[in-house]
Amino acid sequence: MRLATLNDGSRDGRLVIVSSDLARCVPASGIAESLQQALDNWADIAPLLETRQADLGEGASEGVEPFDQTAALAPLPRAWQWLDASAFPSHGKLCAKALGTPAIAEGIPLMYQGLSDRFLGPGAKVPLPNEEDGIDFEGEFGVIVDDVPMGTSASDALHHIKLIVQINDWSLRELAGREMKTGFGWVHAKPASAMAPVAVTPDELGDAWREGRVALDLSIKWNGELFGRANGAAMGYGFHDLVAHAARTRDLPAGTIIGSGTVANENYREVGSSCILERRGIEIIDHGEPRTPYMRFGDRVQMEARGPDGSPLFGSIDQEVVPATVPGRQR
């Protein structure tokens, strides 16, 4: 099943069901008005959505309309909780090199709680206050769960994963190192993230969903040039492990989003990277100093993961970084 949210002027948008080619959609009206409403009652609502998806595929649905990816909101425009991990070992090593921070000891998943009151749509401009903050993109996969009880095991957590999404977790790198050294979480370094337009149920991935991992290449272009195509299968911890980790001492409400962290592979010299910080880490290893600058206003980033046969899944993220209007600040 493939779900998306269109802008109807409300904060949560209007839920639609999307065709397999991402060309058409049909409203979920009468079943669930928003994705959060569907997640709150997933056991009862999902079968009704699946029936309407089947009708759409057979051409038997009423109210079918063209699906415009660029005009879609994030599938879940705001969430009760956003927990982002760093589950790719090679990413952690390169980032420590680039930031000049000690490598963090492994043994449990690394995770922080980020801004969740809004997720940017796939074509939304990204307003940020200062080019000198080290503007960086981070290509990730994420999952959305239903209600997860505290203490849920990793094996049971797999069954709570209802949807998979593709995420651009924006970062301000010049602020990140300072905040990391405080021992507390990020605030200034982590503005709102963005999502690709379509959330998919795990079965839509077929064999590419295995061991709680998205075994797909995430293609990333920066200003039209291919930057990376790392594969999501290389997670040191699967999403079920991350969900269980997050639920160790708390219930997770339906609609909690958990991210994989930047998709990264050990053969980064062949496949490239999913963020600029990694490339700078590689340059430090090779040349003793970073050579690739961070993003400037007017730069664009595009991200898309397709099925093994090249078919569309999540749709595409295509965003431009622009200067924010900050009250009281003159340009």
SS (H, E, C) 249-262: CCCECCCCEEECCC
- The Cα 154–Cα 213 span in angstroms is 13
Domain ranges of the chain: 2-67, 82-323
Question: Cβ(243)–Cβ(235) under 8 Å?
Answer: no
Question: Cβ(199)–Cβ(3) under 8 Å?
Answer: yes
Question: Cβ(84)–Cβ(114) under 8 Å?
Answer: yes
Predicted pLDDT at 70: 86
pLDDT band at 130 (very low <50, low <70, confident <90, very high): very high
Predicted pLDDT at 258: 98
- DSSP codes, 152-206: --HHHHGGGEEEEEEEE--EEHHHHHHHHHTTS--STT----EE-S-EE-GGGGG
**Stronger pLDDT, 307 or 97, i.e. the higher one:** 307
Question: Cβ(143)–Cβ(244) under 8 Å?
Answer: no
pLDDT band at 97 (very low <50, low <70, confident <90, very high): low
- DSSP codes, 223-283: TTEEEEEEEGGG-SS-HHHHHHHHTSSS-B-TT-EEE--S---TTHHHHB-SSHHHHHHHH
Task: Record the tokens describing residue 232, joined without a space.
Answer: 């999501």
* Tally of CB atoms within 10 A around 294: 21
Contacts of 105 (CB under 8 A, 6+ apart): none
> What's the pLDDT tens digit per position in 159-204?
999 999 999 999 999 888 776 767 777 887 799 999 999 999 999 9
Give the three-class secondary structure for 125. Answer: coil
Give me the residues paired with residue 34 across strands: none
Predicted pLDDT at 226: 98
**Is pLDDT above 80 for 104?**
no
Q: Average per-residue pLDDT in the chain?
A: 93
Helix 173-181 × helix 89-99 angle, to 10°: 90
- The Cα 52–Cα 36 span in angstroms is 18
Within 19-138, strands assigned E span 24-27, 65-66, 82-85, 111-113, 126-128, 135-136
Nearest to residue 62, comparing CAs of 21, 38, 29? 29
pTM of the model: 0.94
Asked whether the CA dihedral 156, 146, 207, 303 is positive or negative, the reply is: negative
pLDDT band at 106 (very low <50, low <70, confident <90, very high): low
Q: 12, exposed or middle or buried, with CB in 10 Å at 0-12, 13-18, 19+?
A: middle
Across 126-130, 171-175, 204-208, 259-263, least confident range: 171-175
Predicted pLDDT at 188: 78
Predicted pLDDT at 285: 86
Farthest CA pair distance, the chain: 62
Mean pLDDT for 299-319 is: 97
Mean pLDDT for 271-276 is: 96
- Specify the CATH superfamily of domain 82-323: Fumarylacetoacetase-like, C-terminal domain (3.90.850.10)
Question: Cβ(308)–Cβ(115) under 8 Å?
Answer: no
